[in-house]
Structure 1
Amino acid sequence: MNNINNDSKNNIEVWEDLVNIKDLVISLIICSVTTMGAYFLAPKQPPKPLLFGLSGAILGFVICSIVIKPKRVFIETDKEN
């Protein structure tokens, strides 16, 4: 029971799911840096900043999915019991 209370202090609810605050902040920083970095490195021709920014967001998502591992555990039970 103590472990559950300790975990709830480090988590917040986002879209009806519990999220670790540290992991959320790390992922926000990574995605912001890659998105804005790619946007500012793009040539100033009209569609390129948008495409570079979107590419940076996808790159940030891939980096976050590698760096931050899921902590959810699924337990399968029989419906008969």
Structure 2
Amino acid sequence: MVNDSGPSSEKNEVKENVEIWEDVVNIKDLLISLIISSITTLGGYLIAPDTPPKPLIFGLIGAIIGFIISSVIIKPKRTFQMMDEEK
């Protein structure tokens, strides 16, 4: 029987994560959110009428929708621990 709580499981977990802006992100979740945001932003841009400000506005609205969808689908995996500092 193999124990998965040893150092080898920590190495596997580190390989799945990448550090971006001093934060650790799961590569799979990052790719999913990039794909969702790209599709909604480009979709909003492409369905917009050709009058000058509308493609920009539709694209920005698509980006916001992509962000909302990504934040609903991908849950945070961060845990916080409160530590009392006694002097």
TM-score category by the smaller chain? over 0.9
Matched, 1:12 2:18: yes
Question: Percentage identity across aligned positions?
Answer: 59
Partner of 1:32: 38
- Structure 1's consecutive aligned runs of 4 or more residues displaced over 3 angstroms after TM superposition are none
Unaligned runs of 5+ in 1: none
Which entry has the higher C-alpha Rg, 1 or 2? 2
Question: TM-score normalised to the size of structure 1?
Answer: 0.94
Q: Counterparts of 1:11 and 1:67 in 2: how far apart (Å)? A: 18
Unaligned runs of 5+ in 2: 1-6
SS of corresponding position for 2:24: strand
State the superposition RMSD in angstroms.
Answer: 1.2
Compute the displacement of 1:7 (Å): 1.1
Partner of 2:4: none
